[in-house]
Amino acid sequence: MLDRLPEDVLVRIFSYAVPPASPDAISHRYRRLRSLAFISRTVARAVGRVLYETVDINDEISAVHLCIQASNSKVARFLAFHSTTTLRVDEIRGDYVEQLLKRLPALTELDIRSSSLNVLTLSLTVGVRALYLESVTLKFLTKCGARTCCRLASLPHLPHLARLVLNDVVLFDDERKPVPMTKLINPSSMPRLRTLAVTWAEGDAEVSFVAPQLTHLWLSRFILSDSRTSIHPSLPAESFDNLPNLQHFAVDLLLRDDLADIAHLSAALRSVRLDGKNVAEVERFLLSANPPCIRQLALLVVDKVKERDQRWRERTISECQNRGVVLEEDDFKAHPDQHHADVRWWAQYTQAA
């Protein structure tokens, strides 16, 4: 029966029949798909496409194995070249990441965790539309053997990137000096960037960006577990001055100066997602301050509060009703260790690129 169906139909069926691709489901997906591959050649081709569509690499042995397969097997090389659209790597050295990217040119989504790599390595994924970096060190080349060195040569070029998520990312040059984030996020490097999410702590790369085309912005700050201070970094107010197209804003309001920083936003926001230690108090202060950017607000997303703070939430509900704003309560602690899960939910909910 299966061997009579078109290959594209089989791919769709198998995609639903096996567990979603994740590090925990690799072996189960492989066993189930492999058991189907012996039915016929058509089924085997469909299985190969599904198997290679999303690749998870969690150790360097697996990275080497994939590279060898793509070099020695025509079928594996074809599938890796044309079918792999999502790559997730964790705790892989930068040179291994580079070799993987050279063999997977069809990538549209890339997720790199716990690695250190040359920032130009990212330019190998010219077709990627979503890039997730967590606990990653990006190294910028500032020295060149030639007498003249073009500054743009050391900048990544991701012409189709629409979504960038940075979580605890550090930017250094050859001499281990910090590099401003504008070297990474600017119209020359990422002309189509629409969604930017940054989570950072004091000591990480200074958060600054030039991206007037942004429509979605997520900013979150945290304190390092080994930090001797409880200092939260300030919001990048200077970058707020040039965001005329921003429509959806997610932020943790932690400091007194945060409200003044938000006043730099000139765009009329359609939705705001608020987080923070005292979210009920924060939302009350924001609505009371009523900066120009929230005067056309349509949606306010907030964390659920404890019973003792419910009276403050009732005031927020009343204020939102008076303004015609939809108030959405969400359990932000549902994914305490999965930053990307929350960002993905928010991006999908607000129809981000």
Closest alpha carbon to 82 in 40, 115, 49, 112: 49
pLDDT tens per residue, range 318-347: 999 999 999 988 887 776 556 556 888 888
Question: In whole angstroms, what separates CA 180 from the centre of its chain?
Answer: 19
Neighbouring-strand partners of residue 302: 329
pLDDT tens per residue, range 94-135: 999 999 999 989 999 999 999 999 999 999 999 999 999 999
* Dihedral angle of Cα 159, 156, 252, 249, to the nearest 10 degrees: -20
Give whole-number Cα distances, 5 to 33, 41, 338, in Å: 17, 12, 39
Instruction: Give 243's pLDDT tier (boundaries 50, 70, 90).
Output: very high
Domain extent listing, the chain: 1-52, 58-193
Instruction: Give 148's pLDDT tier (boundaries 50, 70, 90).
Output: very low
pLDDT at 152: 47
Work out the widest C-alpha separation in the chain, in whole angstroms. Answer: 67
For domain 58-193, the question of CATH label 3.80.10 is answered with yes
What value does the mean pLDDT take over residues 141-163? Answer: 70
